[in-house]
Each structure stands twice: as structure tokens, then as C-alpha cells.
Structure 1
Amino acid sequence: MAEASTQTHIGRRLQQHFSELGPQERRVADFILAHLEDLAVYSAADLSRLSGVSKATVTRLFRRLGYDDFKAVKAHARQLRHYGVPLASGADSLGDGVERFRRHAEREQNNLRQCLEGLTPVLFDEVVGALDEAPALAVIGYRNSYPIALHMRQQLLQARSGVQLLPSPNQSLAEELVELDPQALIVLIGFRRRPRLFEALIETLAQREQRVLLIGDPTTAKYADRVTWRLECSLETLSAFDSYASAMSLVSLLANAMLHRRLAQGRARIGEVMELYQELEELAP
């Protein structure tokens, strides 16, 4: 059962075994595949009634797929959401009208509050000091973490030199890491649904004794002892897709704090950038 509940998405298992199912089991399978986003809130009786088959058929189907009972199926659906699979459900919908905006705002505020409560002045100052003083910064982020990494690199680059986004497009990481200054700081953005490479990267950086600032969701807690600093942002929403608002806010907070540590140099650099914008006519007025 562990394989079915923790490794293989139930939709994929249904598709893999569909040809082996009897006609009644296929009716349930068709219904589940069409309503995967609601699986966590259905009961076995709901599936029986909505697909027009007996409860025994529903039970037999899930056992064929490797689940002990329907509780295990619901736990699997919740686990998928925990790891970032976008599963919407009627129970989690935002509602209608102004109510949806209020509930959305409350959730976003809660995420940001949790993020800031996880910071202490000492931790924050250490991180900002490292961002300011490191001879070079390398920002890395894959998949959904990439936009956060790109934005952070762009913000930090306004105030200081030596900020890279790794790896270069369509290139491997090894050649870039071997060139990195041993005293450089790596900012690793690691939000959930990370690629398999992420774990190996954490281990490699730890072995190389490279300083690492890890920014991610609560699932990165297991890496805390292998990085120098870890900052946590919740991504939870009331519906299917994660929200990265707290992560973007944290990037803004860190970049602004770093700028104020080197205000004279930062202002001068921003001024030079603005002059080049005008010379190149890159930005519209």
C-alpha cells in the first residue's frame, strides 16, 4: 500500500490498470479520473452513488490499486496536495463575490505572518550580512522556484555586483559550480515539487562546505542541518494552486535590507544602471 499512497498518483495508477478493470470498476475509474480534484472530499458512498455502482465495487477497485481502504485513498489525495499537486475541492473553494477576496487575503496574510514569525533579528541580520559581504552570489531555483530565483537575482543585482543565476539556460550545473569562489554564497530556492537533482545538490554543496541560504516551504526542514541558513515560506491557499506571495515579499525584504547596508554604493550602482537604461532606450518612459 505504501507504494500506491506515497509514490504513484492515483490517476496514473487508474490509467495503468484500466484495461484490467471490469465494466463496473471502469465506471468508477472514469468518474474518479474526471473528478480527481474532488477526491479528498468524497466518501466511498458518494463515489458509489455518483458513479452508479455498488460500494463493494468501489472497495474492490481501490484494493486492486493497492489501497487498504478508502481512508488510505483520501490520505493519498491529501498527501498529493501537501507536496504541491494542484487538487481543488468544493470544500476549499474561495466562494463568491467579495467573500472570495476576503478569504484569499486572510490566507495570504497568514502565510506572510508565519514567514516573518520564523525570522529573528539575529538570523535576519546574519543572512543580510552574508548577502552583502560574500564575494559572489549564485542564485539557483528549479521549476516553480525559478521565478523566485530570477526575481531575487534581479533585485540583488541592482545593489551589488557578482550575482549569478545558475545554471545558464539549457546548461548543466557542474561546470558552473566548479568555477565558483569557495567563499561565495549560494542562495538555493527550493519550493515543493523539486526535481530529483535537488537532493544531490544539497549533499554536494554540504560536502564542498559551501555556504548555502535555503529558502523554501516547510518540506525543506529535512535539509536544515546541511545548509548554513534556512528561511521558510508557506505556500498554502484555499484552492488548488500554491501562492508565492510570501516568498516574493521575503525577497523584497532581504534585498531592501541589503541595499541599506551598502546605501552609498547601492545608490551609485542604481544611478549607473538608470543611465544605461536611458542610453540603450531599454525601458519605456
Structure 2
Amino acid sequence: MSPVLKPTTDLANRIALVYPSLSDAHRRAADFVLQNPLDTATMTIDGLAERSGTSTATVTRFVRALGYGGYGELRSALSSALKLAMAPVDGLADARAAAGSTFATLVTALKDQSANLEEAISTLDEGVCSRSIDALLQSRRIFLVGSGASHYVASYLEEGLALYLDANVIFAASRGGAERAIRYMMSAGPGDLVIAVSMPRYSRGTLDLTRLAKSRGALVLALTDAPTSPLASVADMTLFAPARNRMLPNSPSATFALADAIITAVARERPDAVEALKELSESLLWTFHQ
């Protein structure tokens, strides 16, 4: 069975952008490409026209509607999208084929995460860090956005920041699905901060919500893996944490560490942080196992 084109790829994003304005014939071509990217990547323009029930002229106009110069560019984009989608599968297959014990796999994985963390430390910029913490301390509301593994990093941030900040901390992407998240972002504006978390393969939903809040005047702090991340071009401030993993699509360990560091820095800057932690500890006294 041919893999379905992932919504995180550039080609899928282009199709989604123009789809509402496409004719019925163009939509048939779009639907076929989305559902059969592997087949399309190896087809001639005549083959795509025949399989999608359209014509070569229709396919040509569809390709141009996507912003490509010709059918060859569309096939190149498909090849790139498929390479992105299949990279974790290929990595897992290569790792399984390599000689080594289960113990060696565990050690290698931990060393890789250690390298991610060291790189995260080396890429920190003092000015960006200071502006980020100042924004957290000064914002009236803080919206958190993240999906997949990034969802759990955002959830961790929500719990930690809510303890030490007076601001209303809202995990927009976790309450009531996409429609509710959009309503939260539409309420964002000047004086608010959005913390967007995204690792490869990047979530289109996270990017769209972040752009929506940014367009309404909210400040954006991105936690992502590299300057090439689509979030980096949207954010006002970006903190980087590599998410490389030889066998999996990504690893959130360095991003979790970065989130923990952010919470720690916020707590240090709050003069009442000790008292807040004391009150929490006293209220939870009888829930701890000694």
C-alpha cells in the first residue's frame, strides 16, 4: 500500500492552501497525489492524468496552481516529501541491521541524547534567554502549543510555569481539540506570549496556531530543534534543542531539559517563589511516601 502524504510536508501544505479554490478536476488530481505519493513520484504526467481521471492540461494547471514551474518540480517535491516521511523507517531498519546487543543500543541512545543536550547548551544565546524570561515574567497570559511528543513538553511547561507565575497559563492545544485551540489563539493579542514547541516532523497545526496568534499581536517564543524549523521564522525568540535520534523520528529529551531550565530560571526571578513552593509542599505533605 502506498503511504499517504503527511500533512507536515511542504507539498501537502501547498495543496491544503489552494484546495478550497480548486476546480473539481484539479481536486481529483490533488486527491490522487495525496493518497498515492509513491506512485505519483514515478509516473509521467500522462500517467497521473489517466489515473486521476483528468487530462494532461488539467494536471499542468494544477501543478502551476501549487506554485511549481512544471511537472518535474512536482515530482522532485514528492521525492523530498517521501524521503522525510520514510527517514525514521530507514533509520530503524539500518539500526536493526547493524551488529550490537540490546545493551549497546541503550548506551548509544543515551550518548546521542547527551550530545543533543550538549549542543543545546552550546547554542544558547544570553540575550535571547534574557528576553525570553522577561517575556514570561511580564506577560498577562501565556498560551502553550504543541502536539505529538511536543505535547508532553508543553504540558510540563504548563504545570511548572503555573506554579511560579501570576499570568494565566493556558495549554491551548490540549483543551477541546483544534476548534477550541483556534478560539484561544483568536483571543490572543498584545501583552500575551505564545510558547510553541515543535520537533521534526513539524506539526502544521502548531505552526498555524502560532501564526494566528502572532498575527493578532502576541509575542512568540519557540522551542524547536534548529534554525531551519518553520517555527524559527515565525518566532520573536527561539531557543534550540536538537532532537536527533538514530532510530526514531525525534527525541524530546533535550527539549524537556530546556523546558526544565526555563521553569528554573522563572522560579529564580520570582521573589515569592520560595513561599509558593512552601505552600505547595505543605498542602501535599500527606501525599508523599517517606
Could you tell me how far 1:79 is from its partner in structure 2?
2.1
1:210 is the counterpart of 2:218:
yes
Cα displacement string for residues 212-268 of structure 1 (whole angstroms, at most 9, x for unaligned residues): 101123376334332211122222112135211100110111111111111x31111
- Of the three residues 91, 96, 106, the one matched with 2:94 is 91
1:176-255 to structure 2, matched below 5 A, reads: 176-180=184-188, 182-218=190-226, 221-255=229-263
Counterpart residue number, 2:273? 266
1:138 is the counterpart of 2:138:
no
Would the alpha carbon gap of residues 124 and 110 (structure 1) be closer, same or farther in structure 2, given more than 3 Å must change? Answer: same
Q: Work out whether residues 244 and 250 of structure 2, in 8 Å CA contact, stay in contact via their aligned partners in 1.
A: yes
Q: What is the alpha-carbon distance in structure 1 between the residues aligned to residue 162 and residue 118 of structure 2?
A: 27
Would the alpha carbon gap of residues 260 and 6 (structure 1) be closer, same or farther in structure 2, given more than 3 Å must change? Answer: closer
Q: What is the alpha-carbon distance in structure 2 between the residues aligned to residue 89 and residue 67 of structure 1?
A: 26
Could you tell me how far 1:185 is from its partner in structure 2?
1.2
Structure 1 vs Structure 2 CA RMSD: 3.5
Could you tell me how far 1:101 is from its partner in structure 2?
3.3
Identity of counterpart residues, as a percentage?
13
TM-score, structure 1 as length reference = 0.65
Q: Helix, strand or coil: the match of 1:218? A: coil
Q: Work out whether residues 160 and 269 of structure 1, in 8 Å CA contact, stay in contact via their aligned partners in 2.
A: no
Q: Work out whether residues 161 and 263 of structure 2, in 8 Å CA contact, stay in contact via their aligned partners in 1.
A: yes
Aligned residues: 225
Cα displacement string for residues 193-229 of structure 1 (whole angstroms, at most 9, x for unaligned residues): 4443333323322221210101123376334332211
Counterpart residue number, 2:128? 123
Which one has a bigger Cα radius of gyration? 1
Cα displacement string for residues 88-120 of structure 1 (whole angstroms, at most 9, x for unaligned residues): 444334731543233222211221122222211
Counterpart residue number, 2:107? 102
Counterpart amino acid of 2:171?
L
1:277 is the counterpart of 2:284:
yes
Q: What is the alpha-carbon distance in structure 2 between the residues aligned to residue 128 and residue 16 of structure 1?
A: 49
Counterpart residue number, 2:176? 170
Q: Work out whether residues 190 and 220 of structure 1, in 8 Å CA contact, stay in contact via their aligned partners in 2.
A: no
Counterpart residue number, 1:21? none
Gaps of 5+ in 2: 13-32, 41-73
Q: What is the alpha-carbon distance in structure 2 between the residues aligned to residue 274 and residue 86 of structure 1?
A: 45
Counterpart amino acid of 2:170?
Q
Q: What is the alpha-carbon distance in structure 1 between the residues aligned to residue 86 and residue 109 of structure 2?
A: 18
Would the alpha carbon gap of residues 88 and 226 (structure 1) be closer, same or farther in structure 2, given more than 3 Å must change? Answer: closer
Would the alpha carbon gap of residues 216 and 270 (structure 1) be closer, same or farther in structure 2, given more than 3 Å must change? Answer: same
Counterpart residue number, 2:55? none
Q: What is the alpha-carbon distance in structure 2 between the residues aligned to residue 117 and residue 105 of structure 1?
A: 18
Gaps of 5+ in 1: 18-65
Would the alpha carbon gap of residues 89 and 67 (structure 1) be closer, same or farther in structure 2, given more than 3 Å must change? Answer: farther
Deviates more, 1:248-257 or 1:211-220: 211-220
Q: What is the alpha-carbon distance in structure 2 between the residues aligned to residue 233 and residue 146 of structure 1?
A: 15
Could you tell me how far 1:168 is from its partner in structure 2?
5.0
Cα displacement string for residues 5-47 of structure 1 (whole angstroms, at most 9, x for unaligned residues): 9869x9x749989xxxxxxxxxxxxxxxxxxxxxxxxxxxxxx
Would the alpha carbon gap of residues 78 and 234 (structure 1) be closer, same or farther in structure 2, given more than 3 Å must change? Answer: farther
